[in-house]
Amino acid sequence: MKNLLFFTLILFGILSSCNKKETCQDPNALNSEITGGDNGTCRYTNVIFYAGSNRVGGNGDILEKIEVYRIFIDQEELVGTISDLKESTDAPIGCANSLNSIRYELNTSTDIRFTTKYYYKNGISENGDTHIFKAASDQECIVQNLTL
């Protein structure tokens, strides 16, 4: 009898854990359910940084690499590097990872600032523009070309 009770409790525990619904209370998350409890399963908008070519704007110099940094109040944090750039590269489709791209999840409802640094094959480097993104409950992916 004890064994039957023990196995029944284990089976009940397994079945009840399988039926837990993932919820998220952040209204900026893609899977927001304000009425549910938050169990840390929020999914947010992703930014896909990619290099559409191996040159920046009208600049005739060929790029060696592009670095993307997240900007904090008093520092920058390297998010990733794009190297082996091609003369022309198609934009990533959707949020899929693609060659020579960097994916970053916007896991907060506040603005997130990024900057780029361009390194050319001739040894010159320069800072790029600042990009500002924010998670949005209706936008799964933002695709950002760094070489426009």
Query: What tens digit of pLDDT does each residue of 28-60 get?
Result: 888 877 655 556 678 889 999 999 999 987 778
Confidence band, pLDDT 50/70/90 cuts, at residue 1: low
Evaluate if residue 69 carries a pLDDT over 80: yes
**pLDDT number for residue 46:** 92
Q: What is the model's pTM?
A: 0.77
How far is CA 136 from each of CA 9, 25, 107, 114, 125, rounded to the nearest angstrom? 42, 14, 10, 17, 33
Counting DSSP H helices and E strands in the chain, the numbers are: 1, 7
Tell whether the model's pLDDT for residue 10 goes beyond 70.
no
Q: What is the mean pLDDT of the chain?
A: 82
Among 28, 56, 29, 58, residue whose Cα is nearest residue 41: 29
Query: pLDDT band for position 20 (50/70/90)?
Result: low
Q: Residue 64: enclosing H or E segment and its boundaries? A: strand 63-71
Cα 68–Cα 73–Cα 79 angle in degrees, nearest 5: 20
Query: What pLDDT score does 133 carry?
Result: 94
Residue 114 confidence class, pLDDT cut points 50, 70, 90? very high
Higher pLDDT, 20 or 27: 27
